[in-house]
Chain A
Amino acid sequence: MTDYKSKVHNLFATMNFIASEKMRFYGMVTWNKAESALDEVQMPDLAEISALTGGDLVENQDYDFTNMNSYSDLDYTLFKFNGGFSYKLSPTMTFTFDGEYADLTDDQGYVFGNESGSYFMIRSGFNINF
């Protein structure tokens, strides 16, 4: 028998601020810590099982799974932020600028290797109403 446990913490916050008739700020931040793991495998006590099943069992070998529980553990931490502002240049034209940053830390490489990575994206443009 063994246990498989998952634990996830998730924190988020969004914000919207109208600084003036022309300017607005917005943003969002997310933090997610996710880990799951198999506990060490414990082979059953043969005497105990034998008592439960009336002695009808095949002898098992002295199997060793000392490291098995470590092969598939997962541990990711994701931090993500996006935010920006818009500024009204005229009644029909608005300038926007926003960006996004994400960072993923992988503390337990799986079959894809270490998946840690990050990216950022910045964006700007003009919105024109007709």
Chain B
Amino acid sequence: MKSMLKFVFVLVVLLLASSIVFAGDGPTTESYSIWIGGHYTEFSDYAKKVGEYNKGDNETLPEFALNYLSTGSNSIFRFTSHYYDNKNAFAKLQSTISDKMKLSVQYRSLLKQEGQDLLTNIEAREYLPATDALSGKMLTHDIQDPNADYNTHRQEILTKFSLLLSEKNNVRLNATHRMILKNGHEQKIASTHCFSCHLTSMSAEVNNTQHNLEVGVDADVANFNIGYQFGYRLYDPQNSKSITYYDDARHPTNGGSGGEFGPRVIYEDTEAEFSVVPKTEKMSHKVKFKRNVGQGYLAGVIGYASAENKFTSLKTNSYSSIFNYATFLDMKTKLITKVALSKFDSDSIYIDLPTFREGLADSNYVDFDFTRYSALNRTNVNLSAELIKRMNAKTTLSGLIGYDIVNRDNYPTVDDGLSTKKLYLQGKLKYRQGLSMRSSLKVRFEKISDPFVSGRGFFEEAGHGDARLEPLVPTSNWVFYFQRESLRYQDITTLPTQVLSFDWNMSYNPSMKLSATFGLKGKLDKNDDLDSLDVEHSSFIPSITVMYNPTERFSMHTGYSYNYDKSRLPITVAVFDG
């Protein structure tokens, strides 16, 4: 009912706006239509997957649509709307007055159904065949709300406004505001894992709002087209709190050894909130320009942005610039060059952890405090040049060369940083034979050095050591959890160092009544920097579509595509039994 009221409210606002728009400009032509009807929906078996974006209820509901168009001597006004049910509705108002002012307001909503993970695979207890005994590793789960109906109702109101402030320099004010509201319920899973691994599933209320605002002004000054744009984003979650109990630390079977197990967890025997989504705020400033230079165009953007997590006060700052230049070298040759530079700087934070085994009899304690440097910190450089040549009336050939550098300082998993470099070459051939045939082939090759490494990723050579642990390996009986972690998380990547891709398509139109399009996309990549692992990936997508219009009254469009994708990936196990 609330949603229905909101929808009606938006309709009223839009209609009021329309009356203001036309206050001084009576319509010269006017047309409107209404559609009144209803629908009946019936679901069977599991409705949430097949009806993911439909409301999964068996019911009959009224449905209506209203469309209105008015053209004045100096204006166009359009209103379209469709009410399907109280979770699925659409309304849009567009108004243009002369070429001076444009306004559009759009409302749309959808319902996304979510399934419930039943956690049925989380049910096990370790068994020791050699001694025919139960052991201490256990997996259990608890579903607190097995009948919960998980779904999210997403509503969006998008407002765009543009006003010509001065015809002299084409000074135009632009503003866009987008509000996204999400309401509903989602599944939250808490895990506690000291004396047993136990998952608790519960329902949590979703209630969050997101505002995206962009305001800018553009103008033509001398030979420049310049603009400034301010951006603001606020994400404000008002979700219900999810709280769970985290077990106390003790031996899984005899319940003792709390002193020994305690240091293995950061917190224990406490009720605490989990899955907290922070409120965030972001602001950006951009200056844009474009200028005709000789036979070409130069365009660029320089910007600064800052994002803040309001829960932790962590901040990210970024500085970016893009410069593009396109020029016609002659009547049949075009050159496009692009340069982009950007720098991202996200706050680091000191993580203060309980000292492992401090105060216990054994002296093998380790202080694992660390500074978390952000994986986002980086400097990006992108350079490319593309030459497009019209060989003749039918054939166009283009060649592209580009070079990207991503320089990550203080990257979490690589002590001396990680610098990824990518060289890419691309060729494209287009052929057009009048209206009867059109074809293009694009081939691209990429060579990448030091690809991105997933933080805390896996290892290739066993025994990569943490320097702090080396004196303790392998004699210590107490630091095995840290040895295990050190063994588990190392610094290789399975991302490719070579990529070859191609994209071919051909449209064939033997007559005005028949046309067929054939396509074949493919990609082959591999990482040839690894010693023993064999990582590669391939994909192929052939497709065909046919359009057939034998008469003016009948048209048909049909197509088939096949998507094949294969990844060869390593499976590694941390070679340690705690």
- Min CB distance A71 to B, Å, is 7
**Does residue B35 face the partner (Cβ distance < 8 Å to A)?**
yes
The reply to whether the CB of B40 lies closer than 8 angstroms to some CB of chain A is yes
Question: For the complex, is A107 an interface residue (Cβ under 8 Å from B)?
Answer: no
What bracket does the count of chain A residues touching chain B fall in? 35 or more
C-beta contact mask, A61-104 vs B, less than 8 Å → 1, else 0?
10101000001000000100000000000000000100000111
- Which residues on A sit within 8 Å (CB–CB) of B554? 15-18
Q: 1/0 per residue B540-578: CB within 8 Å of A?
A: 000000000000111111111111111111110101000
Give the interface centre of A52, A71, A106, A125 by most chain B CB atoms within 10 Å: A125
| Count class of interface residues, chain B | 35 or more
Contact yes or no, A7 B50, CB < 8 A: no
Task: Report the separation of the CA atoms of residues A59 and B558 in the bound assembly, to the nearest whole angstrom.
Answer: 57
Query: Which of B43, B50, B554, B573 is the most central at the interface, judged by chain A CB atoms within 10 Å of its CB?
Result: B50
- Please determine whether B37 and A8 come into contact, CB atoms closer than 8 angstroms: no
- Evaluate contact between A104 and B38: CB separation under 8 angstroms: no
A117 vs B48: C-alpha distance in the bound complex, in angstroms?
Answer: 8
B223 in the interface (beta carbon within 8 A): no
Query: Does residue B47 face the partner (Cβ distance < 8 Å to A)?
Result: yes
A-binding segment of B232-240, B256-264, B306-314, B530-538: B530-538
Task: For A14, list chain B residues within 8 Å (CB).
Answer: 556-558
In the bound complex, residues from chain A placing their C-beta under 8 Å from that of B571 are: 1-2, 41, 65
Q: A56, B563: Cβ atoms under 8 Å? A: no
Q: Are B38 and A13 in contact (CB under 8 A)?
A: no
User: B119 to A111, Cβ gap below 8 A?
Assistant: yes
Inter-subunit contact A10/B561 (CB<8 Å):
yes
Q: Are A125 and B575 in contact (CB under 8 A)?
A: no
Q: Is the CB of A119 within 8 A of B43?
A: yes
The interface residues of chain B lying within 8 Å CB-to-CB of A13 are 556-559
Q: Is the CB of B41 within 8 A of A119?
A: yes
> Number of contacts between A and B (CB, 8 Å)?
184
**Distance to closest chain B CB from A26 (angstroms):** 10
Q: Which of A104-123 contact B (CB under 8 A)?
A: 104, 106, 111-123
A49 to B461, CA, bound (A): 10
- How far is the CB of A20 from the nearest CB of chain B, in Å? 9
In the assembled complex, the Cα of A89 lies from the Cα of B40 at a distance in Å of: 23
Contact between A118 and B116, CB atoms less than 8 A apart = no
Set of chain A residues within 8 Å of B44, measured between Cβ atoms? 117-119
Expressed in whole angstroms, the minimum distance between the Cβ of B462 and any Cβ of chain A is: 4
* Residue B32 CB within 8 A of the other chain: yes
Residue among B49, B120, B566 with the most chain A CB within 10 A?
A: B49
Q: Tell me whether A57 is interfacial, beta carbon within 8 Å.
A: yes
CA distance A106 to B50 in the complex (A): 10
Given A18-B553, A111-B118, A125-B36, decide whether A60 and B575 contact each other with a Cβ distance below 8 A: yes
A24 CB to nearest chain B CB (Å): 9
The answer to whether B50 and A117 have CB atoms under 8 Å apart is yes
- B486 → A minimal CB distance (Å): 13
New contact pairs (13) apart from A53-B532, A119-B50, A123-B39, CB-CB < 8 Å: A7-B563, A7-B564, A7-B565, A15-B555, A16-B556, A60-B575, A117-B45, A117-B49, A119-B41, A119-B54, A121-B41, A125-B35, A129-B32
Closest 3 CB pairs of A and B: A125-B37, A112-B115, A123-B39
Using a CB–CB distance below 8 Å, which chain A residues touch chain B? 1-19, 36, 41, 44, 49, 52-53, 56-61, 63, 65, 71, 78, 96, 102-104, 106, 111-130
Q: B residues bordering A, Cβ < 8 Å?
A: 31-51, 54, 56, 63-64, 115-121, 461-463, 531-534, 552-571, 573, 575
